Amino acid sequence: MSKTAGTGHHIPWRLIGWGGAAVLLMVPKIANFPWTLSDYIVMGVMFAITGGTIELAVRSSTDWAHRLGSLVAILTGFLTVWVNLAAGMIGSEDNPYNLWFGGVLAIAIAGSVLARGSPSALAAAMALAAAAQAGASIFGLAADMRGGIFSLAFTGLWLLSAGFFRMASRQKFVSLP
């Protein structure tokens, strides 16, 4: 079990999260997926970045809405990269339309850095990422209708994150002690 900095509270979620990532990393081997060593390395790095970022986000705020907004944004970013590496949102992973989703991630990351923890600024950054996601998805509809609709669903995830940050800015959720 881990402890939060100086509070003495045990957090089983940390063990569950990192243990879950390790189990997920073993699934392709158990299911006999044709993964190479580089596939495992890339996924391990993605899990490490995602898990580390989630830990930083959880430590940066005691507000549940802020934490949920961070969690949804981080997982949406992870899923965006994973889907694009595995199969591509639009067509195959080689389709140039998929590069647009890297721009969406750049907007979300840059907005998060510039927001410096401000929930209202984070809400605006995630709303902007949602708009960029919708725009990229709409352009992608011409190339692949199914993929365009699938990628459009990610707009909802960015908006959900923005909504949680908006709630945090209004202090609607109870903060942790």
Cα separation of 122 and 60, whole Å?
13
Q: What is the pLDDT of residue 11?
A: 63
Q: Where are the domains of the chain?
A: 10-60, 63-177
**Between 39 and 172, whose confidence is greater?**
39
What would the pLDDT profile of 25-73 be if each residue is shown by its tens digit? 888 788 888 888 998 899 899 999 999 999 888 888 888 999 999 999 9
Is the per-residue pLDDT at 154 higher than 60?
yes
Distance in angstroms (rounded) separating the CA atoms of residues 143 and 145: 7
Q: Please, what's the b/e burial string for 25-39 (b: 16 or more CB within 10 A of its CB; e: otherwise)?
A: eeeeeeeeeeeeeee
Residue with the larger pLDDT of the pair 26 and 105: 105
The per-residue pLDDT for 58 is 85
Mean pLDDT, rounded, for 108-122: 94
CA pseudo-torsion sign 82, 86, 91, 94: positive
Confidence at residue 115, expressed as pLDDT on a 0 to 100 scale: 93
Instruction: Report the distance separating Cα 13 and Cα 25, nearest Å.
Output: 18
- Provide mean pLDDT across the span 92-103: 86
Question: What's the rounded Cα separation, in Å, for the pair 44 and 38?
Answer: 10
- Nearest one of 87, 76, 91, 93 to 154, comparing CA atoms: 76
Residue 143 in contact with residue 95, Cβ under 8 Å? yes
